[in-house]
Amino acid sequence: MAIEGPLQEMSIQDVLQLLELARKTGILTVTSEQPSDEAEIHFQKGQIVFSKQRYSRRPLGQLLLRAGKITERELERALELQRRDPSQRLGDILVEMGSVAEEEVRRHLRFQIEETLYEVMGWTQGRFRFEERDRTEWNRVRVQVRVDSLLMEGARRIDEWSRLEPRIPSVHAIPVLAPLGDGDGPVLDLRPEEWEVLAEIDGEQDLRQIAANLGRSTFDVAKIAYGLVSTGVIQIKERPAPLAEDDLQRAVRELEDLLDRGEIEAVVRRAEELQAAYPDRAEFALLAGRALSGQGRMRAATEALARAAALAPLSPDAHFDLGLAAIRTGDLARAAVALDTFLRLGGNGKRREIAGAALAAVRTLNEVLAREVTDDDERTGDR
């Protein structure tokens, strides 16, 4: 039987504690209204073994890349394998490729789980639902995180945040460099981690994004920012309140209507504005890609659609549009992967017929080109 209810009546901390004490196995889904987000937390006998967040800024691949544990090429290869088989988890693929040690993946998975849970603990408006299962799917690389340790650390952070709040109102605060006074000013004597944070400040990124860029805890970056504000090195500006989910969905519908009416330039302009404000929303990247396609700007369209597919890897529409756009730019390898993913995800109707025919044509052309390259190599060798 499912356990569900509003977060206003039962806090997520109480839900987590209940599942731990009852040694439950299953999946807890938490949906937040403000901020608009969703998280999925997997339990095995009361312990957390996996988590994912819809608009996560900490994908495992990027964490490992920023830590210098894998290369861009290895990550691209692993993501391509995952697109071909979405049931595989990225950490398992990287270990099987020999790109990174299990222990390193385990450490970053634990960090990912902890940061997701600390963020979810701050959600107060929304709903939760727990579905019990006989077992949950294990990664090859297994992680188990105790709920009680997370709750203790979460409580400590909440207490300490009250000290930071007068100068750091939230993790959505945007740090900016303080203006220089008369003269050269004093020489900065900062710790290495303070220099790291300072180097990321561009007046656009909030503290949460800076933490993600550095692969650090958001809370730790907020504490560093507090120190830099206290010493007058930086100032804080608060990001405007994000739109509610209903307003975001209304914006999507308005863009779709504009696109249907052929007002392509208006869609491109508005979609790009919304992409900048909501970089984690696949819908705006998808609509921008479609509008750019309508303008004939196929390379820009392909990149926008690739972002949409990366943000929403289970969206058939994103992969279908990406596949067709990639064909028009001559990127046949990307087109084949995108169209194949669309078919694997169960895309149907007229689009399935188009994708099947296009994929067959792309594969045939790839084979012809491969044979041509082989023949050229052989002819070169004969000389």
Distance CA 90, CA 139 (A): 9
Q: How confident is the model at residue 243 (pLDDT cuts 50, 70, 90)?
A: confident
Report how many helices (DSSP H) and strands (DSSP E) the chain contains, helices first: 16, 7
Residue 177's region, left for phi above 0, alpha for psi from -120 to 50, else beta, is beta
Per-residue pLDDT tens over the stretch 87-103: 788 889 999 999 999 99
| pLDDT given at position 223 | 95
CA atoms within 13 A on the CB side of 5: 9
Q: Is 201 helix (H, G, I), strand (E, B) or coil?
A: coil
Q: How confident is the model at residue 357 (pLDDT cuts 50, 70, 90)?
A: very high
DSSP 180: P
Hey, which bits of 217-345 come out as E strands?
234-238
With vertex at residue 85, the alpha carbon angle to CA 80 and CA 90, rounded to the nearest 5 degrees, is 60
| pLDDT given at position 61 | 86
Mean pLDDT of the chain: 86
Distance CA 288, CA 220 (A): 35
Report percent pLDDT > 70 for the chain.
Answer: 90
Is the CATH number 3.10.20.600 carried by domain 245-378?
no
- Taking the whole predicted model, whether its pTM rises above 0.85 is answered as no
Which of 9, 55, 46, 54 lies closest to 130 in space, CA to CA? 46
Q: How confident is the model at residue 240 (pLDDT cuts 50, 70, 90)?
A: low
Q: How confident is the model at residue 274 (pLDDT cuts 50, 70, 90)?
A: confident
Distance CA 251, CA 333 (A): 33
Other Cβ atoms less than 10 A from the Cβ of 221: the count is 25
Q: How far is CA 216 from CA 58, 193, 195, 221, 348, in A?
A: 10, 10, 14, 7, 42
Per-residue pLDDT tens over the stretch 14-41: 999 999 999 999 999 999 876 678 899 9
Q: How confident is the model at residue 182 (pLDDT cuts 50, 70, 90)?
A: low
Which of 224, 223, 217, 220 lies closest to 111 in space, CA to CA? 217
**Which is it for strands 26-32 and 37-44: parallel, antiparallel or unpaired?**
antiparallel
| pLDDT given at position 312 | 87
Domain locations in the chain?
Answer: 2-160, 166-181+189-238, 245-378
